[in-house]
């Protein structure tokens, strides 16, 4: 694990995301690069300088953040970049070019993130990169050290792909993963498929010495069911897939991922599926 990219717009929301990223980076011994994207429209609620002095103010604020948070990163560095362009596009490009293993972004921040993440734009970042993305809504101030991660398993072939990266995060924090088999139909063959996938994930975690619980639930509202389950079981991260093949059994289409990102009171780990017929889990 090499680097974490954090989208920073200097709002409280993005600073909260940065603090979560620092907790991850400290455990992973990875560097953090904070990215501020200079767009044509500057939010006056965040910046106080005249437009011609915005870059200097951004640099000053970054240096203050480094002074405040670098001591928390004993084995890695906190740096920043200022880039001009579109928010999601430039973050994706920077993450890929720097070989980052994770992107962290606050949503509904004061400088345009709320508009950026609204409606059909909700998946622009998470669906534009193959790098895992953790999104954190504004106002979420839960425990930053991961203790329990909710891993919903559905009937789609790609659902198991969440297990590998989610397991790596769990091992960093010695966290427990809750494997939740989610049935959205009462058709036995589909439920058996979900159970089979959950079995494979459990075997993989056994092999990797990752702590886990296992449960199942029938759901007519996927997002609400997972969020309520996370609340009742004190989870502080939910791991989902972003896009998948459009089959009748797929329940992780864009609108579901978007609803998680926009409405979850917990950080969301979004993982882009690999188009492969082979899933590298123990069977």
The span from the CA of 209 to the CA of 177, in Å, is: 12
Mind listing the pLDDT tens digit for each residue in 9-46? 888 888 999 999 999 999 999 999 999 988 755 555 55
What's CA 67's distance to the chain center, in Å? 26
Mind listing the pLDDT tens digit for each residue in 82-92? 998 888 889 99
Mind listing the pLDDT tens digit for each residue in 251-264? 444 567 777 877 78
- pLDDT tier, 119 (very low <50, low <70, confident <90, very high otherwise): very low
The span from the CA of 83 to the CA of 86, in Å, is: 9
Report whether pLDDT(247) > 90: no
Maximal C-alpha separation, the chain? 64
pLDDT of residue 243: 58
The C-alpha angle with vertex 260 and arms to 229 and 255, in degrees rounded to 5, equals 125
- For the ranges 96-100, 110-114, 145-149, 241-245, the lowest mean pLDDT is seen at 110-114
Overall average pLDDT of the 168-189 stretch: 96
Torsions phi, psi for 211 (to 5 deg): -70, 140
Please answer whether residues 160 and 200 qualify as being in contact, where contact means their C-beta atoms are separated by less than 8 angstroms: yes
Overall average pLDDT of the 186-215 stretch: 97
The span from the CA of 257 to the CA of 268, in Å, is: 9
- For the ranges 115-119, 121-125, 267-271, the lowest mean pLDDT is seen at 115-119
Equal CATH topology for 3-137 and 148-271? yes
The domain locations on the chain are 3-137, 148-271
Per-residue CA distances from 181 to 39, 97, 145, 177, 196 (Å):
43, 36, 25, 13, 10
Instruction: Determine whether 19 is exposed, middle or buried from the number of CB atoms within 10 Å of its CB (0-12, 13-18, 19+).
Output: middle
Torsions phi, psi for 32 (to 5 deg): -120, 130
Domain with residues 148-271, CATH architecture:
3-Layer(aba) Sandwich (3.40)
CA contacts within 13 A on the Cβ side of 84: 4
Report whether pLDDT(123) > 80: no
Overall average pLDDT of the 93-101 stretch: 94
Average pLDDT, the chain: 83
Per-residue CA distances from 249 to 161, 197, 237, 268 (Å):
16, 14, 25, 22
Q: Output the CATH code of domain 3-137.
A: 3.40.50.620
- pLDDT tier, 95 (very low <50, low <70, confident <90, very high otherwise): very high
Mind listing the pLDDT tens digit for each residue in 38-68? 875 555 555 555 656 788 888 999 999 999 9
Is the full-model pTM beyond 0.75? yes
151 contact partners, CB below 8 Å, separation of at least 6: 162, 163, 166, 177, 178, 179, 180, 201, 239
């Amino acid at each position: 694990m090499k680097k974490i990219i954090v989208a920073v717009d200097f709002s409280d929301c993005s600073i909260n995301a940065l603090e979560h990223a620092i907790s991850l980076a400290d455990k992973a011994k990875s560097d953090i690069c904070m990215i501020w994207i200079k767009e044509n429209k500057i939010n006056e609620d965040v910046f106080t300088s005249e437009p011609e002095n915005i870059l200097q103010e951004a640099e000053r604020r970054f240096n203050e953040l480094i002074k405040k948070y670098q001591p928390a990163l004993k084995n890695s560095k906190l740096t920043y970049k200022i880039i001009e362009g579109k928010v999601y596009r430039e973050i994706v490009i920077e993450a890929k070019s720097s070989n980052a293993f994770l992107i962290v972004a606050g949503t509904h921040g004061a400088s345009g993130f709320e508009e950026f993440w609204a409606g059909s734009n909700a998946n622009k970042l998470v669906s534009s990169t193959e790098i895992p993305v953790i999104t954190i809504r504004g106002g979420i101030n839960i425990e930053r050290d991961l203790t329990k991660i909710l891993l919903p398993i559905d009937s789609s072939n790609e659902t198991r792909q969440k297990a590998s990266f989610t397991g790596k995060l769990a091992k960093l924090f010695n966290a427990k993963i809750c494997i939740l088999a989610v049935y959205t139909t009462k058709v036995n063959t589909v439920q058996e498929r979900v159970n089979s996938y959950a079995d494979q994930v459990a075997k993989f975690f056994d092999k990797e010495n990752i702590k886990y619980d296992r449960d199942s639930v029938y759901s007519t509202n996927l997002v609400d069911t997972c969020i309520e389950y996370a609340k009742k079981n004190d989870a502080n991260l939910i791991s989902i897939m972003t896009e998948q093949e459009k089959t009748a059994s797929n329940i992780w289409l864009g609108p579901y991922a978007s609803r998680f990102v926009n409405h979850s009171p917990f950080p969301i780990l979004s993982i882009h599926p690999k188009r492969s017929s082979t899933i590298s889990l123990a069977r």
